Amino acid sequence: MGFWWLKNLIGVRLSDSQLQDIKHTRAELLFHVTYRSIQASSLIGSLVVAPLVTVVKQPRSLRVLHDRCLRYAIYGIAPGAAAGVVLYGLRMRNQPEEGYFDRCYRLRCSQGQIRIDRSSIFGALVGVGWSVLTPYRPIEAAVIGMYVGLVGGAVCNRFDR
């Protein structure tokens, strides 16, 4: 990954040759797939599993639902990371190096994808800093920030069309 990858992620326009010069395509693709899986499993834990558990178990209040949503979002991180590695391995098994390069190059050129990655990573980092000022633990604030960044990036993509 490295310098050019980071510049592309933060929004600096790169030439086609600079985009092609980004090294370590396998690590870049593994990071992307794993991060997406973490986002998905964390969202499922927070928005699906936590409300179902709250319906089934006592007590049933908004405060309990709020606490469970945060807890199950955090519980979703580990399975998401494991699933990301497995999905990466299954999809890219027996792929030549050109397959990795092609997939990463298409990800690098997708401004919508880059915007969502940038905003969710930035949101998670801001969340960790925000935890100093709030009663949330750093991991909880990072998950909240990741969600805010994810939604913000998707909204920006929608209006950019």
Convert 91-103 into a string of H (helix), E (strand) and C (coil): HHCCCCHHHHHHH
**Does residue 43 sit in the same domain as residue 69?**
yes
**Does residue 41 sit in the same domain as residue 95?**
yes
The number of domains in the chain is 2
Is the pLDDT assigned to residue 4 strictly greater than 80?
A: no
Q: What is the pLDDT of residues 11-38, one digit of tens each?
A: 888 888 888 888 888 998 999 999 999 9
Rounded Cα distance, 43 and 51, in Å: 12
**Does residue 104 sit in the same domain as residue 42?**
yes
Domain span holding position 5? 1-109
Q: What is the pLDDT of residues 109-139, one digit of tens each?
A: 888 999 999 999 999 999 999 999 999 999 9
Residue 10's pLDDT is what? 82
Rounded Cα distance, 40 and 18, in Å: 31
Residue 15's pLDDT is what? 84
Residues 6+ apart with CB under 8 A from 10: 118
Q: Which of 89, 109, 129 is the last residue of a domain?
A: 109
Rounded Cα distance, 31 and 141, in Å: 21
Residue 22's pLDDT is what? 85
**Does residue 119 sit in the same domain as residue 51?**
no
What distances in angstroms separate CA 84 from CA 35, 68, 137, one per listed residue?
7, 24, 25
Q: What is the pLDDT of residues 27-76, one digit of tens each?
A: 989 999 999 999 999 999 999 999 999 999 988 899 999 999 999 999 99
